[in-house]
A = this chain, B = another copy of it.
Amino acid sequence: MDMTVGLGLLAGGLTTASFVPQVMKIWKTKSAEDVSLTMFVAFCVGVGLWLAYGVIKKDWAILVANGVTLILGLAILVMKIKYK
């Protein structure tokens, strides 16, 4: 694995992991009033397209990061709809 892939995985790891505290916060407080529904709808569609981009470019950093991010983004979206 070259250094660039390592940097991409670190970048992807951080941006992806950053959604975990947001998932936990909404899960604990059962409140998502300040979270934008429009943001997470557009975000999840966009991350889905990044996944396709990663597939075409065979870029593992983009693939792995966006696969996990999509799961976390959908979790926030579902909780936003549920808890408002």
Give A contacts to B, CB under 8 Å. Answer: 4, 7-8, 10-22, 24-26, 29, 31-36, 38-43, 45-47, 49-50, 52-53, 56-57, 61
Contacts and interface: CB of A to CB of B under 8 A. Distances in A.
A29 B38 contact: no
Number of identical protomers: 2
A55 to B, nearest CB: 10
Contacts of A13: 46
Nearest to A20: B39
Nearest to A52: B7
Contacts of A25: 34, 36, 39
Contact of A34 (B35, B53, B57): B35
